[in-house]
Amino acid sequence: MCSLSVVFTVLVLNYHHRSAETHEMPGWVKRGICEWLAWFMRMKRPGEPLSRKTLFKTDDAIRLQMKEQSSKSLLANVLDLEDDVLNGDAGIPIANGAAPKYNKELGLILKELRFITEKMAENEKNDSVTNDWHFAAMVIDRLCFYMFTFFTAVATGAILFSAPYIDWNSERKGGSSG
């Protein structure tokens, strides 16, 4: 029991310390542990519904639903603004030929904004994957807790009922022989 406890503890810690940079989460971990096993053990993430209906949705349906719910991102706004600047319709008054100078500066600003938004999107994706690994570790930890609690109760009962110095039959007969 101690050996299995150590093995499962190492497994839970391994999952807990994984991130997007070190490991890619396989589909069976995401579906099997983070969704089905979590649903079976009545665990869920805050703000995310987890029901039988959501478990049977396909990955494509989930992605489509998330796309519909998402609002226009900063990157999309930057791209729209870039189109306006490149077309010369940025709302900058043209006086004494200063528009090309502003367009160049706006282009550099847009380039920096694009870099920042891409970095933010990448960090958000990495954080999401890391959180998935943390949740998988929590689910496995809870499963191990239930298994070891059950095993400890059964083993304790088996040891108590198999103790040679306790005569369970003599108490039913009304006393011990002596």
108-126 pLDDT tens trace: 888 898 899 999 988 888 8
Q: What is the pLDDT of residues 67-97, one digit of tens each?
A: 544 444 554 555 555 555 555 555 555 555 5
> How many independent structural domains does the chain possess?
1
| Whether the Cβ atoms of residue 124 and residue 14 lie closer than 8 Å to each other | no
Quote the domain boundaries for residue 47.
2-157
Residue 70 domain flag: yes
pTM: 0.60
Distance of alpha carbon 78 from alpha carbon 89, whole angstroms: 14
Domain assignment present for 152: yes
Q: How far apart are CA 43 and CA 26, in angstroms?
A: 20
Section 121-144 average pLDDT: 89
Residue 169, domain member (yes or no): no
First-to-last C-alpha distance (Å) of the chain? 40
| pLDDT, tens only, 24-81 | 888 888 888 888 888 888 887 766 666 666 666 655 555 555 554 444 455 455 555 5
Is 9 inside a domain boundary? yes
Strand ranges in the chain using DSSP code E only, listed in sequence order: none
In a domain, 45, yes or no: yes
Does 178 score more than 50 pLDDT? no
Does any domain span residue 113?
yes
What pLDDT, on the 0 to 100 scale, is given for residue 86? 52
Residue reference for tokens 């949740």: 135
The answer to whether position 69 is within a domain reads: yes
For residue 115, CA distances in Å to 71, 106, 120, 122, 173 come to 20, 14, 9, 11, 85
Residue 168 domain-assigned (yes or no) = no
With 80 as the cut, is the pLDDT of residue 154 above it?
yes
Residue that wins the pLDDT comparison between 71 and 161:
161
Let me know: does 30 contact 155? Beta carbons within 8 Å. no
